[in-house]
Structure 1
Amino acid sequence: MSILIALIPALAWGSTGLVTTKMGGTAAQGTLGMTFGAFVFGMLTLGLFVVPQAGADFAFNPRIWIVGFVSGLFWAVGTAGQFVGFKKLGVSVGNPLSTAGQIVSNALMAAAVLGEWTTGRMWTFGLLAIVAVVVGAVFTALPDSKAPAEVNPEHDFKGGLVAVLISTIGYMMYFVFPNLLNKIGYISNAVHNRHDGLDYMTAIVGPQSIGQVLGAFIIVIFFMKEGKTMFQKGTWMNIVTGLVWALGNVFMFISTANPNIGQATASTLSQTGIIVGTFGAIYLLGEKKSKRQMVFIVIGAILVVIGAIMIAKLKTL
């Protein structure tokens, strides 16, 4: 059951690129609209679950709010970078590259900083799994010189890669920050481990959503320079994207808190949504791929999933 819960974010997050593309709008509108949806979900989680479950004193613990708020700011950076990457690379290319970056960075952070990989055997198989993920991502994003010319007017491969790199760093810190603050002692073990971590990880979601909204406003206004268009139709449509994402977010942090799953496994399993994102973009959004590209995409997706499964099973080694 724990593994099935940990796979819910994969389904939700794998659909995010598809949903935001269907909703339309610019990368800035997608980012802002998504945070509005996340805010609605976060406040509902706070009022309907965290306060009744853990009590108001715990739900409004100042340290939990600081951790959640900063985590939300990191998320805003990650999401803005990802949406820019999707616009410049296409979902079927941007999604696997973003997925691979998140799997590698989160696994290494959880292993090296949080100490979840404790044996030489775990490090050996973990690094092999990371290699499989990276190679798989490269395969899914390979261009075909014989394919028709790119028709995306926003296509910019180099700019898209930079956006995905920035996105990866933002998402890495968003994932790791709540547990990292426990590791350095800012969040006590009593708070972090209450009800097997369920109370702490769900209490983060409310303040995290506030950080997401504020971070999105800052990025959209000062970096994307789209302040004049941020309240147009594309923003409101992408509230749906935010609700889909927020569902995966709650289950992601619940799985992270579960001692039988952990940070590295939960974050890795969440990224197997590459199957949904990559193939959904091809078959639902109509992104064109040559036969050669499809072969590499299938091989690449298999390698990413194999790598993810290996990381998920490291604790049994």
Structure 2
Amino acid sequence: MFWGIGQILQVCSFDLLGVSMAMPINTAEQLIGTILFGVFYFHEWHTTRQYLFGIVAILLIIVGVIVISIRGKGSGSVSPQDFLHGIVVVSVSSAGLIGYAVIPRIFGLNGWDMLLPQAIAMWLVISGIVSRVRDNHMWRVKSWQNIITGFCFGIANLTMLLSNELNGVSIGYTLSQMNVVVSTIGGIVILHEHAGERHCKLITGLLLIIGGAIFIGLTK
């Protein structure tokens, strides 16, 4: 259920902010949330070194989000109303996806045990939400061609859940979110989003977020 809500709102944020802006912000919020859960709920950090690297990581991620969110001359393609609405949608999406990442650990479930029930719940939630949307294209050929991406997600989801068990939520989930590199660069290069000075801000913010993820890896 958490994944379904988070995923639907994530897709909605693409229409408001564009992929290359929405994904880094969404990813950064998820990283901060799962890191905080890992530290304060699961007690995954114990040494001064881990806290030092972890604090540096969080600061880098926060600065990265701020850099990406700054609206300059090249941000005219996103209206102020869409920008504010998009930030709210992204934040609620992040909360749902954080819940999806940490709840299995809270109940001590492993990846293999929860994969099928989780997939059924995802399908039910998404189907229920989409069925209420006017003029939805759920049953069209183009929609079903995306079943390939579903297989890819299933593999990625299983490996992420197993990684969370082996490495802890703060490290496992953080490393899994490095797909933000592909989505941001794809948004710029393939979808031609945010031309001009926005490129520099997006790349700088992205590098800061990646730097934060590297520091999180060093807490292991």
TM-score (norm. length: structure 2): 0.90
**Displacement after TM superposition at 1:203 (Å):** 2.5
Distance 1:206 1:306 in 2: 34
The 1:160/1:148 distance shift into structure 2, 3 A limit, reads: closer
Distance 1:296 1:90 in 2: 14
Where does the alignment leave 5 or more consecutive residues of structure 2 unmatched?
Answer: none
1:75 paired to 2:3: yes
The 1:314/1:210 distance shift into structure 2, 3 A limit, reads: same
1:307 paired to 2:187: no
Paired residues of 2:53 and 2:218 also in contact (CA < 8 A):
no
| Runs of 4 or more consecutive aligned structure 1 residues displaced over 4 Å after TM superposition | none
| 1:277 aligned residue | 183
Distance 1:267 1:302 in 2: 18
1:268 paired to 2:174: yes
1:163 paired to 2:89: yes
Paired residues of 1:94 and 1:164 also in contact (CA < 8 A):
yes
Distance 1:227 1:246 in 2: 27
Paired residues of 1:100 and 1:137 also in contact (CA < 8 A):
yes
**Displacement after TM superposition at 1:227 (Å):** 7.3
**Displacement after TM superposition at 1:120 (Å):** 4.1
Q: Percent identity?
A: 31
Distance 2:95 2:64 in 1: 20
Where does the alignment leave 5 or more consecutive residues of structure 1 unmatched?
Answer: 1-72, 183-191, 193-199
1:236 paired to 2:144: yes
| 1:93 aligned residue | 21
The 1:91/1:148 distance shift into structure 2, 3 A limit, reads: closer
**Displacement after TM superposition at 1:167 (Å):** 0.8
**Displacement after TM superposition at 1:215 (Å):** 1.2
Paired residues of 1:220 and 1:227 also in contact (CA < 8 A):
no
Coordinate RMSD, CA, aligned: 2.1
Paired residues of 1:221 and 1:227 also in contact (CA < 8 A):
no
| 1:176 aligned residue | 102
Paired residues of 1:92 and 1:141 also in contact (CA < 8 A):
no
**Displacement after TM superposition at 1:93 (Å):** 0.5
TM-score (norm. length: structure 1): 0.64
| 1:21 aligned residue | none
Deviations 1:170-192 (A, max 9, x none): 1111101111012xxxxxxxxx5
Count of residues in correspondence between the two structures: 219
